[in-house]
């Protein structure tokens, strides 16, 4: 029997596991990654893309902390687009089509060449606490020891794939699932739920008629995710296009005729599905008055003809799927390479975790990713880097690293999961972030790079570049608030071209920037800023243009911080507090919130309960 010791062990090799392992290893901990199949490293079992609305914020924040997802996407992207540009900068979100196989291979290469990190192909079947370490056993009887463990099993726990009424024991895309890990984690005090998700078929791109679809090109001179690549433009030439098409009346007929064969409507599906990523069956039934639904054709990679059919996820039998997909405009002669399926899996109730993602009843055990009930690669990776950082902090005897709701989308994501819990696969959305005007994707480095540097995840070279950028923005903001522009034919001509009124008297630059039609890029030639990079000009423009709103949001954050600063003693006996309603006592006793702010976000705890709780605390003091 083999027995080897590590400081940190990571169970899984998906997006959460990769970020966790890299963070722990880069912080100096001897780290092992255990994967049932090493070909599944950073695998994308669903859509071949990274980022998107709110998810792009998470990727930028991971990068600002020193994580890998943004860098890896930049290396392997096929197309990049900035979403929501018709709205304000708070909701701008970068999205990139990635080469699925290249993304996985590049991430595996990064793991293999990281100091303190070892990849091991093995299924972990048992995890036990023994004295000051965890004992991990594999399906082949090998034994490993680790001071801290990060469980990032994704959708593999007791996974079953559904093809119509046929149920197959399998993880995503045919990878073997994990059958015994859940029982081990339950013994360590975790509670579990059953969720489901799904993925559409993959088609042979050569069998599609693209002339019947609308071209969806990438941005000309698009952006990269990583702040390390800031200022570089993604080349428009060579970007692989996507296409937009629509379902038809025939699509609707086929689904309704075969609805009895869908596990969702035949009573065969036991897990709870994602509300924000419905199957095509759900779309047809729930939106009965809608005649068509959008379908996006996305490339799986540069070296394959396979394409992904975004918007037509289904669990209908393979025999029905061909007819279904051929009813979509442009897909009349399509050939399926991989059938669609739904997948059911077990996931933990994240309310059993702290804000640092450590299990309350098992110090040193951390959970991250879809095993916590979230959905999406980006949500998983965001949890992964926090879990990896805190696993390393646990080993090194340091305080846990936490982000609150005012510091990042990562903080919102984790707080929602560990405080409120989730009854369906959790998806990040900009509407969930109440301080989103100051949590923009463009300022993620300003918010989080200092923390990444302090943790040892940001290199001295990158820190030097960041501080130079920060100092230039600070100086340009000061200059914009004090610089006066005088009327001139050239300036007024530029104002007229922008569709705004000319000036007849001297005007301050910051006053002009508050006009909706103007921005720093347009005014740069008139204020001596034409030599500055575009990202510097954009940062100054946003800070000036939304200054009043940002000030008000900062005031809200100050009040939020006050509530977060009112700590609740760990041993508080909520059950004995007659001043609280019965539901509040039960919810607080179960959740054990760390502070008054967190207590107020628990479902079932009212503002009146919080007031009563604060009075009770004052009495005790």
pLDDT exceeds cutoff 90 at 106:
yes
What's CA 304's distance to the chain center, in Å? 27
Confidence at residue 237, expressed as pLDDT on a 0 to 100 scale: 54
Residues of the chain with CATH 1.10.150.570: 565-620
Share of the chain above pLDDT 90, in %: 85
Place of tokens 């779309």: 283
Q: What is the pTM of this model?
A: 0.95
Output the average pLDDT for the chain.
94
The residue-averaged pLDDT of 84-104 equals: 94
Note the pLDDT tens digit of each residue in 393-419.
999 999 999 999 999 999 999 999 999
pLDDT exceeds cutoff 80 at 9:
yes
C-alpha 439/C-alpha 443 separation (Å) is 7
C-alpha 524/C-alpha 485 separation (Å) is 11
Residues of the chain with CATH 2.40.30.260: 200-341
Note the pLDDT tens digit of each residue in 531-587.
999 999 999 999 999 999 999 999 999 999 999 988 888 888 898 888 889 999 998
Protein fold of 468-552: Arc Repressor Mutant, subunit A (1.10.10)
Inter-residue contact 256 to 284 (CB < 8 Å): yes
Cβ atoms within 10 Å of 21's Cβ, excluding its own: 34
The residue-averaged pLDDT of 234-251 equals: 87
Partner residues linked to 466 by β-bridges? none
Query: What are the tokens at 64?
Result: 């600002």
C-alpha 413/C-alpha 59 separation (Å) is 13
Helix (H) or strand (E) holding 308, with range, is: strand 306-310
Cβ atoms within 10 Å of 233's Cβ, excluding its own: 14
Protein fold of 200-341: Elongation Factor Tu (Ef-tu); domain 3 (2.40.30)
C-alpha 423/C-alpha 419 separation (Å) is 13
pLDDT exceeds cutoff 70 at 1:
no
Confidence at residue 268, expressed as pLDDT on a 0 to 100 scale: 79
C-alpha 470/C-alpha 446 separation (Å) is 7
pLDDT exceeds cutoff 90 at 220:
no
Note the pLDDT tens digit of each residue in 258-306.
999 999 898 877 888 878 789 999 999 999 999 999 999 999 999 999 9
Share of the chain above pLDDT 70, in %: 99
Confidence at residue 274, expressed as pLDDT on a 0 to 100 scale: 79
Inter-residue contact 395 to 29 (CB < 8 Å): yes
- 565-620 CATH pick, 1.10.150.570, 3.10.20.30, 3.30.460.80, 3.40.50.1700: 1.10.150.570
**Beta-sheet pairing, 294-299 with 192-199:** unpaired
Q: How confident is the model at residue 236 (pLDDT cuts 50, 70, 90)?
A: low
Residues of the chain with CATH 1.10.10.1800: 468-552
Q: How confident is the model at residue 238 (pLDDT cuts 50, 70, 90)?
A: low
C-alpha 195/C-alpha 160 separation (Å) is 11
Confidence at residue 617, expressed as pLDDT on a 0 to 100 scale: 81
C-alpha 149/C-alpha 296 separation (Å) is 39
Q: How confident is the model at residue 234 (pLDDT cuts 50, 70, 90)?
A: confident
Query: What are the tokens at 28?
Result: 């100096």
Confidence at residue 15, expressed as pLDDT on a 0 to 100 scale: 98
Note the pLDDT tens digit of each residue in 137-150.
999 999 999 999 99
Comparison of pLDDT for 86 and 25, the residue scoring more: 25
**Beta-sheet pairing, 117-121 with 31-35:** parallel
Query: What are the tokens at 228?
Result: 């390390």
Note the pLDDT tens digit of each residue in 19-72.
999 999 999 999 999 999 999 999 999 999 999 999 999 999 999 999 999 999
pLDDT exceeds cutoff 60 at 2:
no
- Listed residue (25, 264, 207, 546) closest to 554, CA to CA: 546
Note the pLDDT tens digit of each residue in 409-446.
999 999 999 999 999 999 999 999 999 999 999 999 99
- Cα angle for residues 137, 141, 143 (degrees, 5° grid): 45
| Secondary structure of residue 415 in the 3-state scheme | helix
């Amino acid at each position: 029997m083999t027995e080897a010791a590590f400081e940190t062990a990571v169970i899984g090799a998906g997006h959460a596991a990769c970020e966790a392992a890299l963070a722990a290893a880069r912080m100096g901990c001897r780290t092992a990654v255990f994967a049932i199949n090493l070909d599944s490293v950073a695998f994308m079992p669903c859509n071949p893309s990274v980022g998107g609305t709110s998810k792009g914020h998470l990727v930028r924040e991971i990068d600002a902390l020193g994580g890998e997802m943004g860098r890896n996407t930049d290396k392997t992207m096929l197309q990049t687009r900035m979403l929501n540009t018709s709205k304000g900068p708070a909701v701008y979100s970068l999205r990139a089509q990635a080469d699925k196989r290249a993304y996985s291979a590049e991430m595996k290469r990064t793991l293999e060449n990281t100091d303190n990190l070892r990849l091991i192909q093995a299924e972990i079947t048992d995890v036990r606490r023994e004295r000051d370490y965890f004992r991990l056993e594999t399906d082949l009887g090998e034994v490993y020891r680790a001071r801290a463990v990060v469980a990032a099993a994704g959708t593999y726990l007791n996974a079953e794939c559904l093809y119509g009424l046929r149920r197959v024991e399998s993880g995503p895309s045919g990878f073997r699932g994990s059958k015994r890990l859940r029982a081990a984690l339950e013994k360590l005090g975790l509670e579990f739920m059953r969720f489901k998700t799904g993925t559409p078929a993959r088609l042979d791109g050569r069998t599609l008629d693209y002339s019947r679809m609308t071209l969806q090109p990438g941005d000309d001179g698009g952006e990269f995710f990583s702040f390390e690549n800031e200022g570089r433009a993604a080349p428009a030439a060579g970007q692989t296009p996507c296409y937009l098409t629509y379902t038809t009346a025939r699509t609707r007929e086929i689904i309704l005729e075969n609805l009895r064969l869908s596990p969702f409507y035949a009573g065969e599906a036991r897990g709870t599905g994602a509300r924000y990523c419905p199957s095509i069956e759900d779309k047809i039934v729930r939106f009965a008055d809608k005649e068509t639904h959008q379908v996006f054709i996305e490339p799986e990679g540069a070296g394959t003809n396979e394409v992904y059919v975004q918007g037509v996820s289904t669990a209908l039998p393979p025999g029905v799927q061909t007819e279904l997909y051929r009813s979509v405009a442009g897909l009349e002669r399509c050939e399926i390479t991989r059938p669609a399926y739904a997948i059911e899996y077990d996931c933990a109730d994240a309310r059993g975790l702290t804000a640092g993602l450590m299990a309350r009843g098992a110090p040193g055990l951390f959970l991250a990713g879809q095993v916590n009930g979230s959905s999406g690669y980006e949500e998983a990776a965001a949890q992964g880097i926090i879990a990896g950082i805190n696993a390393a902090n646990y080993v090194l005897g340091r305080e846990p690293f936490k982000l609150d709701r005012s510091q990042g989308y990562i903080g919102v994501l984790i707080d929602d999961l560990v405080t409120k819990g989730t009854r369906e696969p959790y998806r990040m959305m900009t509407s969930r972030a109440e301080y989103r005007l100051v949590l923009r994707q463009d300022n993620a480095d300003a918010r989080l790079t200092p923390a990444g540097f302090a943790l040892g995840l940001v290199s001295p070279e990158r820190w030097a570049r960041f501080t130079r950028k920060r100092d230039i923005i600070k100086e340009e903001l000061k200059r914009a608030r004090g610089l006066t522009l005088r009327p001139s034919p050239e300036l007024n001509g530029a104002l007229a071209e922008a569709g705004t009124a000319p000036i007849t008297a001297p005007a301050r630059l910051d006053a002009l920037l508050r006009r909706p039609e103007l921005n720093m890029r347009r005014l740069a030639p008139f204020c001596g800023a034409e030599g500055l990079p575009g990202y510097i000009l954009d940062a100054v423009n946003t800070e000036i243009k939304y200054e009043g709103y940002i000030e008000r949001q900062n005031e809200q954050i100050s009040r939020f911080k006050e509530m977060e600063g009112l700590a609740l003693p760990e041993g508080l006996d909520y059950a004995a507090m007659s001043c609280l309603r019965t539901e509040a006592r039960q919810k607080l006793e179960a959740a054990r919130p760390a502070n008054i702010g967190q207590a107020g976000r628990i479902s079932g705890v009212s503002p009146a309960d919080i007031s009563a709780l604060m009075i009770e605390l004052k009495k005790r003091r």
